[in-house]
Amino acid sequence: MSFTLTNVDFLFENSFEVANKVGGIYAVVKSKAAQMAKIYADNYYTIGFFDPKKASVELDQKPAPKQLNKAFESLEKQGIKCFFGRWLIPGTPKTILIDAENTKHRVNEIKTWLWEQYQVDSIRSDNWFNDPVVWSYATGLLIEQLIKTKPFKDKKIAAHFHEWLSGAGLLYLKNKKTPVGCVFTTHATMLGRTIAGSGEDLYGQVNKGLAEGRHADISLAKRYGVEDKYSMERACAHNADVFSTVSNITGKEAHYLLGREPDILLPNGLDTKKYAGLEDLAIARRKIRSEMKKFLAAYFKRYYEFDLDKIRSVFLSGRYEYHNKGIDVFIDALGRLNNKLKENKSENTVVAFIFVPSGTRGENIEVLKNVSLYSEVQEHVEGVLPELADNIINLLAAGRLPDKSSELFNEKFLSESRKLIAHFTEKAGQTPPLCALQLSYDESKDPIINECLRVGLLNRREDKVKVIFYPAYLSAADRMIGLEYNEATLTCDMGVFPSFYEPWGYTPVEAAVQATPSVTSDLAGFGQFIKGKGEGIKVLDMEGIEYDQIVDQLYQHLLELSNMEKEQLTALRINAKKLSKSVDWDVLAENYVKAHKMAVSKVSGIY
């Protein structure tokens, strides 16, 4: 049967993270908004959660236009406040933020309704579940009211709901049999993430279950204590007009865990046009690397000397999900690399950054003092440069070269220099710390530090792999590296993301768009998407592979990087940048449009 999908007149995109950065969905909706606004023009609305502090920065609040007033007034009578404006991001989409704080007393009534109608099991849920449920229920009420009035009345309306947090709104609209085409996207199933995080073989379970024609049920979710979010996800997947995930691997996961195969895949993209071109990136990299070199000199050179012009730098970043994010694989591969480089008496050093936020109570005082002393040395030298230049010029003009330091420097400078040298080198022979900040918990219980110690990554003079665990969000305002994330990672030669669980994975895409080669895995949605499309992004074979073999693959790749000529690395950078264009929203947004058309066509009875 052939048919033409119905065009969409209005789109309401619902996410708890609209103008409210909490996790990864914020980046998806934000980066896509300009393309959605281009496609749907002023008929595109984003609907989100009202957080007054974040809204004051992210929302250009305006008086609600006439076509919204009736719906807003209706909700206000129920204790729900709606704020209208433009989200201050590229595309500046029309945005409605909902404050349902005054209806929280209805949470048990709403949860009872969800149980009776859709078997959403939330009897043991807490506010991490309850607050989004109250908010998202209100989004359903809002859309229900909007479609009763012009210009929305009798139009083809699509509503896109992201993740379980927005699910109650979708279920409300379907329960009321509204003529709204509803799309539900799960970017990662709650149960899948939990199983993988426990170290169990998630995809082994998924493949076995699907091969046997089985699907998971609530008993599995209860075993992991996520039955509330799981049952919400499952209800939304089964009741949405169009169910979608972000990748093939997450589609299989959802099929087994939620019991419905996705109707369409919606890969995550980036607005690659906002990033600099290759030439500008190369200029920026050279400039910012000089700043990073100062930090590395401060971090290590109080203890021992090594050549900062002969380093390769790599980084891993993401949430502190030790196994899910493959942090264990990264550290174990670095341990093998360290042993090999020492065995080969390599002249090169690999510096490995682990940018994984954790609980901290401030900077590591030792590291902060190192940075402060290095800055003091730098200021001391910079202060004498004009006089030094004059002295050199005068000597050359007199027809001779300086043969002693006193001809260039005055005694005050030399005296101060001796004091600084004595102070700066007083830790000579000791070992730099692994962690740049003070953890708010016992260091001996930290998995990253423990694994570094186990594999011999100790930051000793003889170690050819140096590790810096930086458990804080990077910021230009911090007192150590002093760079934003995109700046700090731009200085590196490779990003490493060997995830065991990654429904999509933005980090290798963000590296590639900055012409930084990266490593991902075939257990990541992006890894499967990009595999075989070219060099610059290495995809590790991890599905069904023994852990030791996975570590060896990464070790071999890092060994190759450590010995790579500059021309080879430049070629990888160029290829990585080219590959990033395959995930531009100009290319991927059409999948979203198709999903919206499918949903509207379904409620219209033609799909």
Q: Is 244 part of any domain? A: yes
CB-based contact 97:48 (threshold 8 Å): yes
Does 296 lie in the same domain as 202? no
Asked if residue 137 has pLDDT above 50, the reply is yes
Does 174 lie in the same domain as 88? yes
Q: Is 304 part of any domain? A: yes
Q: Is 374 part of any domain? A: no
Does 301 lie in the same domain as 257? no
Does 220 lie in the same domain as 156? yes
Copy the structure tokens of residue 427. 């830790």
* pLDDT on residue 2: 46
Q: Is 398 part of any domain? A: no
Does 278 lie in the same domain as 232? no
Does 486 lie in the same domain as 355? yes
CB-based contact 37:593 (threshold 8 Å): no
From the list 260, 220, 228, 254, the residue with the least C-alpha distance to 120 is: 228
Per-residue confidence band for 257, with pLDDT thresholds at 50, 70 and 90: very high
CB-based contact 178:143 (threshold 8 Å): yes
Mean pLDDT over 142-166 rounds to: 97
Does 77 lie in the same domain as 40? yes
- The residue ranges of DSSP E strands in 426-549, in sequence order, are 437-439, 465-469, 494-496, 518-521, 537-540
Per-residue confidence band for 607, with pLDDT thresholds at 50, 70 and 90: low
- What is d(CA 283, CA 336) in angstroms, rounded to the nearest whole number? 34
List, as one string, the DSSP characters of 32-43. Answer: HHHHHHHHHGGG
Q: Is 306 part of any domain? A: yes
Mean pLDDT over 518-539 rounds to: 95
Q: Is 278 part of any domain? A: yes
- C-alpha dihedral, 357 to 360 to 362 to 363, nearest 10°: -60
Give how many domains the chain has, as a whole number: 2
Q: Is 43 part of any domain? A: yes
Expressed as residue numbers, the domain containing 206 is 10-271+586-602
Structure confidence by residue, pLDDT tens digits, 219-237 = 999 999 999 999 999 999 9
CB-based contact 295:370 (threshold 8 Å): no
Does 207 lie in the same domain as 93? yes
Half-sphere exposure of 124 (CA within 13 A, CB side): 10
Does 550 lie in the same domain as 591? no
Q: Is 382 part of any domain? A: no
Q: What is the mean pLDDT of the chain?
A: 94
Does 450 lie in the same domain as 563? yes
CATH code of residue 80: 3.40.50.2000
| DSSP summary character for residue 444 | G
CB-based contact 117:158 (threshold 8 Å): no
C-alpha to C-alpha distances, 48 to 84, 441, 449, nearest whole angstrom: 11, 35, 39
Whether omega before 151 lies within 30 degrees of 0, making that bond cis, reads yes
* pLDDT on residue 418: 85
Residue type, position 421, single letter: I
Structure confidence by residue, pLDDT tens digits, 473-497 = 999 988 999 999 999 999 999 999 9
Does 88 lie in the same domain as 172? yes
Per-residue confidence band for 425, with pLDDT thresholds at 50, 70 and 90: confident
From the list 33, 54, 31, the residue with the least C-alpha distance to 506 is: 31
Half-sphere exposure of 273 (CA within 13 A, CB side): 9
Beta bridge partners of 311: 349
Mean pLDDT over 285-309 rounds to: 94
Does 558 lie in the same domain as 542? yes
